[in-house]
Structure 1
Amino acid sequence: MNDDDDERLDRAFLALADPVRRAMVARLSRGPATVNELAEPHSISKQAVSKHVQVLEQAGLVTRTRDAQRRPVHLDAGALERLTGWIDRYRLDAERNYRRLDGLLTSITNHEKGIGHDERT
């Protein structure tokens, strides 16, 4: 992973640290929405919602398009996939470590119980 990737990852996780932005990402996972639509469930101004959208844009998590008078916000599924890939890499490492630990504990327990040993010696 290079510095640009690290910076992009930092921006994405910082953007997702805010509960309003996470709610917006959740809403956008169902399809594009306007700023007005994103503002509906929140008791914040449309200007504040626009600023949240800008943070998500700068993090590369959403894009905006022009559709006549509307400027819908779209979730970038690829950006979320990259975040998931980064998380999964470390999750898989942790799972491997837990499986090794489970195997070691089972081996120790079996040894203590005398299971799996030839008792003729």
Structure 2
Amino acid sequence: MQKLMTEVLGRYFLIFAGCASVVVNVNNDKVVSLPGISIVWGLAVMVLVYSVGHISGAHFNPAVTIAFATCKRFPLKQVPAYITAQVFGSTMAAGTLRLLFSSPDNVFAAARIRFTGGCD
């Protein structure tokens, strides 16, 4: 249970810090910039790995969990629980950001990345 809580809180911190830097960048006339956003994501991962990596293995990403399980470095039966914990942490972080950065003109929605192109 401690491992799963670590994954929830770690994923929460990672998504909160990284996505908050994007929202702040969009809301404040590109003050953070792409290198700043990248540094926030990198430092968040580093802090998490060093602080709680010894507890849960510091996956914090379903792709990492699946990769470890595929390489037989992580028990396959624990994969669903880890992924559920990671998705829960991400959802809670997104909800917190939505509460913190919502405004009448819904600036939070402006921070969404829009993909264009594809097959016509």
TM (norm. structure 1) is: 0.30
For the pair shown, the structure with the greater C-alpha radius of gyration is 1
Greater relative CO (CA pairs within 8 A, separation 6+): 2
Greater strand share, 1 or 2? 1
Q: TM-score, normalised by structure 2?
A: 0.30
